[in-house]
Amino acid sequence: MEIADNSPLWRYTTMKVGGDAEHFCQPAGAQELVDVLDLCRKQRKPWHILGGGSNTLISSAGVPGTVIRMTQMTNVQTLEEDLVEAEAGTRLPHIAKHAASLGLSGLEFAVGIPGTIGGAVVMNAGAHGSCMSEIVESVTVFDIETWQIRVLSNKELSFEYRNSAIDPQKQIVLSAKLRMKKDSAEKIKAQTQHNEDYRWRTQPIGTPNLGSTFKNPLPDKSAGFLLDQSGAKEMQEGQAAVSALHANFVVNLGGATSQNIVGLLHRMQNLVQEKHALHLHPEWKTLGLFTPEEHTVWK
């Protein structure tokens, strides 16, 4: 496994934004991952995990330390008739269509989410009224504090809305076991296609973005609705803009920086606070060098 120096990260994110990683590697399995972590520990250098890059804003100023991209860990096994195990780097659309081909229902919601199993478990990703917590039986992680592999049950994961008990700084997802239900393959494929078509109609799929920007502040108040009602559509900061198609999506018009994007998020938050007296909190994670002022968007 090669460890590259000064590697541009913009190419590994769906927003196409990001500076250079001081060091960068892509382990093909758990042992290579542990080897990299061992090296970082011996050198006393920071490390960072990157999945599919669909829910992470990478700083244009770069990322010190080693960025470990998990997307080469993609092995999928059928363990039982209704139980599938997928490694952390497996793309959600891939595993959703694979499950559909097996006549397994439960991942139809994930077909349009451009993330990986690892990230989806950590943030309890969801769409169309379903989420990962409904199908995750257990998750295998590498525990940084004990330097051992552990298996966490669904109960131990303490899933919440867009959150879980997994701390990415202390536990790295290696794989997840997904328990689904047998159903008609035709029915599952039809629902999967319906969800995929819906996303293409309602979200800016063809333009670089990181997925939904803000969490819904209340069960009956979606962030998209609040932003739309507040007049946020097509707001712009540099080359970052609020999508004209869906107000809870920020898009890169070409050449946007992380500074542009953070500035736009701050304005979106202020707008909804002013119009509806509600604070919006980003779904995205951050990676790299951000100023204290920029970090206030996530507080």
- Check if the beta carbon of residue 257 is closer than 8 Å to that of residue 269: no
Q: Is position 218 within any domain?
A: no
What tokens were used for 253? 């018009």
Pair (58, 140) in one structural domain? no
Q: Is position 207 within any domain?
A: no
Pair (121, 28) in one structural domain? no
Instruction: Provide the pLDDT for residue 177.
Output: 98
pLDDT digits (tens, 9 = 90+) for 239-296: 999 999 999 999 999 999 999 999 999 999 999 999 999 999 999 999 999 999 999 9
Per the prediction, the chain carries an average pLDDT of 96
Catalytic residues, by residue number, are 162, 212, 283
Tell me the pTM: 0.92
Domain count, the chain: 3
Pair (82, 58) in one structural domain? no
pLDDT digits (tens, 9 = 90+) for 182-220: 999 889 989 988 998 998 999 998 899 999 999 999 988
| Region 84-93 average pLDDT | 97
Instruction: Provide the pLDDT for residue 155.
Output: 97
CA–CA distance, 107 with 105 (Å, rounded to integer): 6
Residues 66-79: b if buried by 16+ CB within 10 A, e if exposed: bbbbbbebbebeee
Beta carbons within 10 angstroms of residue 63's beta carbon: 23
CATH number reported for the structural domain that contains residue 86 in this entry: 3.30.465.10
**Parallel, antiparallel, or unpaired for β 4-8 and 20-25?**
antiparallel
| Region 73-91 average pLDDT | 97
Pair (179, 115) in one structural domain? yes
Beta carbons within 10 angstroms of residue 105's beta carbon: 20
For residue 133, the 8-state DSSP code is G
Instruction: Name the 3-class secondary structure at 278.
Output: coil
pLDDT digits (tens, 9 = 90+) for 139-158: 999 999 999 999 999 999 99
Pair (44, 83) in one structural domain? no
Question: Which residues does 14 contact at the CB level (< 8 Å), separation at least 6?
Answer: 52, 53, 54, 114, 208, 209, 210, 211
pLDDT at 112 over 90: no
Pair (165, 246) in one structural domain? no
Pair (187, 106) in one structural domain? yes
Query: Which range marks the domain in which residue 32 is found?
Result: 4-69
Pair (105, 28) in one structural domain? no
Instruction: Provide the pLDDT for residue 189.
Output: 87
CATH number reported for the structural domain that contains residue 9 in this entry: 3.30.43.10
Residue 207 burial (CB < 10 Å; 0-12/13-18/19+)?
middle
pLDDT band at 36 (very low <50, low <70, confident <90, very high): very high
| Region 96-102 average pLDDT | 92
Instruction: Provide the pLDDT for residue 71.
Output: 96
Q: Last residue of a domain, which of 15, 47, 69?
A: 69
Instruction: Provide the pLDDT for residue 269.
Output: 98
Pair (93, 130) in one structural domain? yes
Pair (53, 16) in one structural domain? yes
Q: Is position 212 within any domain?
A: no
Pair (108, 197) in one structural domain? yes
Q: Is position 46 within any domain?
A: yes
CA–CA distance, 282 with 213 (Å, rounded to integer): 6
Q: Is position 188 within any domain?
A: yes
Pair (85, 59) in one structural domain? no
- Check if the beta carbon of residue 60 is closer than 8 Å to that of residue 28: no
Q: Is position 216 within any domain?
A: no
Instruction: Provide the pLDDT for residue 114.
Output: 86
